[in-house]
Structure 1
Amino acid sequence: MATITELKCAVRETLESRGVLGQLKARIRAEVFGALDDQRDQRPSLSHENLLINELIREYLEFNKYRYAASVLTAESGQPQVPLDRQFLASELRVAEDMSSKSVPLLYGLVSHFLNSGDDGRKVFLRGPAGGNTGPKADS
């Protein structure tokens, strides 16, 4: 007869091999964060810029199998559970892709573009978001 320890090991291995254990852990973490999140502190509305940034980060996290981090990001940010369509995201960012770039997250392509751009070494001038509201402000 199997011992409790052997049974626990067998269940854990089965859940891991099916990919369910990681999903359960991520769901538990998200629920714990949700329970600990102080509902009295209203989260600012999710701006268009934050929605796009969060989606770039989520795509990167999921590509690299950082599913726990992705689930916590989704839970804490208020990002929609269903990922944005990649073509929509690329269109919003005005990014043109070739076949090879479609195999990696858009964030890789954006970073690669800036690292490999043939500019004269000058810094790129970045502008703030159009709406000005990028997220929570620091307490004064």
Structure 2
Amino acid sequence: MSEELGIFEVMYNCRAMRRIKPDPVPEELLLKLADAGNHAPTGSNVQNVRWVIVRDPETKRLLAEENRKHLTAFMAADTVEELPHHPKAKRDRMREAVIWQIEHMHEIPALVIGCLEFSEAQADPTRAGG
């Protein structure tokens, strides 16, 4: 029971992690994270998520450049202001977090990218979960 309380405590209290330390992440922890992600529920239980873990500095740099290009265009369109349901102070914090990410993404020790695998069987609409 105490383990469940710990899980719920995390679920209710964990905030978004937008500023990530550059400290190394052990390989076994990354694999455990991917394994936990593989056990998450998916529509019709197709389990079509695949994980790409990027640690190579040059690959991270290239991904960071693409991220910078697209997020800079996103920010230039002032799309954050299109979130009127958030107070201005929160929108400003969101903007600052995105700018930090643009400037520091290449420093993140491991990028964990979730990808969907689309196979012919999964394209069958009769298998779609609702």
**Superposition TM-score tier, normalisation by shorter sequence:** under 0.3
Give the number of the structure whose residues are more often strand, by fraction. Answer: 2
TM-score normalised by L of structure 2 = 0.25
TM-score with structure 1 setting the length = 0.24
